[in-house]
Amino acid sequence: MSFSLTTPVTGGAQTGFTSPTYTIAADTAPTNTGKQYAVSAIGGTQAGVDASSTPSRPFTVTLSRPANLKALPAVDPVTGALRSVPRNVYKILVRKGATPLAGQPASTVFLTATLDIPAGCDSADPSNVRAALSLLIGSLNQISASIGDTVVTGVI
């Protein structure tokens, strides 16, 4: 699987953070169709942020692909059209333990990106699949701090 991260991961811009980096180490993924990394150290200025620790305070990223990749079905011999197009779903999941209220036990934040690719597009039109991914990643990088501000303040 080519879903791989190299350490350190340079974090996206966030209000109050200066040059955030995350040293990662291979971790055990929940399934054999994924890879998981745990944050073992924090770099840059990120006051109050901690690395992955006990099960209640994880800081992990999991990259996974479908257990069974779907292929295109046969074309209808009468109409020459596909009856349906199955989808291959890839996921990126970040888990981070966070304190909901001082003195209370940690609760886990879950952030999920789902890549839902119609079967066949990977081989018939890879440039447009890559363009969609490029726009998604570029958009998230460009508005990283704004997304952080919005989820903290509730103002979009």
Per-residue pLDDT of the chain (156 residues; tens, 9 = 90+): 477 899 999 999 999 999 999 999 999 999 999 999 999 999 999 999 999 997 889 999 999 999 999 999 999 999 999 999 999 999 999 999 999 999 999 999 999 999 999 999 999 999 989 999 998 998 899 999 999 999 999 898
- Looking at residue 86, what is its pLDDT? 96
Q: Which long-range contacts (CB under 8 A, 24 or more apart) does 70-78 make?
A: 70/119, 71/119, 71/120, 72/119, 72/120
Q: What does the alpha-carbon distance between residue 64 and residue 44 come to, in Å, rounded to a whole number?
A: 28
- Looking at residue 1, what is its pLDDT? 47
| All domains of the chain in start order, with CATH | 9-74+84-153 (3.30.380)
